[in-house]
């Protein structure tokens, strides 16, 4: 990878209700911190059906849509804006494949999940979706700008 391929990015991550119920918030936040990514916004929220449907609008009509919306509105989610070099692909690699049965050990889904709906975590898949999803959870003035200690 060339230096010119490295871009400072931000991405939207949230822990699904199953992860909160199982007490996994701390462990997963720790992984993100250990990697060196910055958490620039964070809040625990209960998603309305309307917001959940907006978040997953690209999946409307698919066979898993209803059960997915039911899960993400069943309890609190922990939403975060994560910033760092190539943060979108770095986070997606840490999260692992959508189906936890296929997710590699060492990835979050590979290590903490078996169920495809309750697969613990969401992370944006593109810059466009990252900005769209950040807007669903956060106002711009809730995102804190700071640098890591070097
Ligand atoms: P992603 O979360 O890895 O980006 P997407 O394809 O965007 O995966 O799907 C959003 C969520 O919908 C997944 O995290 C998963 O919970 C659920 N989902 C996706 N595909 C399936 C499926 O084939 N069966 C059941 N649930 C699915
Ligand atoms: Mg997705």
Residue 147 lies in a domain: no
Residue 148 lies in a domain: no
Residue 150 lies in a domain: no
What's the residue count for the chain?
150
Each residue of 15-45: pLDDT tens digit? 999 999 999 999 999 999 999 999 999 999 9
Each residue of 93-110: pLDDT tens digit? 999 999 999 999 999 999
How is residue 137 annotated by DSSP?
Answer: H
CATH number at residue 18: 3.30.70.141
- 10 pairs with which residues across the strands? 83
Residue 8 lies in a domain: yes
Query: How many structural domains is the chain composed of?
Result: 1
* 119 Cα nearest atom in ligand 1: 16
Residue 46 lies in a domain: yes
| Ligand 1 probe mutation, 14, 68, 92, 102, most atoms within 8 A of CB | 68
DSSP codes, 57-111: GGGTTSTTHHHHHHHHTSS-EEEEEEEEETHHHHHHHHH--SSTTTSPBTBHHHH
Q: How far, in Å, is the centroid of ligand 2 from the Cα of 149?
A: 32
Give yes or no for residue 144 having a pLDDT over 80.
yes
- 9 pairs with which residues across the strands? 84
Q: How far, in Å, is the centroid of ligand 1 from the Cα of 62?
A: 10
Range of the domain at 130: 3-139
């Amino acid at each position: 990878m060339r230096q010119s391929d490295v871009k400072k990015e931000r991405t939207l991550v949230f822990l699904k209700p199953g992860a909160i119920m199982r007490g996994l918030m701390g462990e997963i936040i720790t992984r993100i911190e250990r990697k060196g990514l910055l958490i620039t916004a964070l809040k625990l929220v209960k998603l309305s059906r309307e917001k959940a449907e907006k978040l997953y609008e690209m999946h409307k009509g698919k066979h898993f849509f209803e059960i997915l919306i039911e899960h993400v509105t069943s309890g609190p989610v922990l939403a975060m804006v994560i910033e760092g070099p190539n943060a979108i692909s770095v986070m997606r690699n840490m999260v692992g494949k959508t189906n936890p049965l296929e997710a590699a050990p060492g990835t979050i889904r590979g290590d903490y999940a078996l169920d495809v709906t309750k697969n613990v975590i969401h992370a944006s898949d593109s810059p466009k979706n990252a900005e769209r999803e950040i807007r669903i959870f956060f106002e711009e003035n809730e995102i804190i700008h700071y640098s890591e200690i070097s």
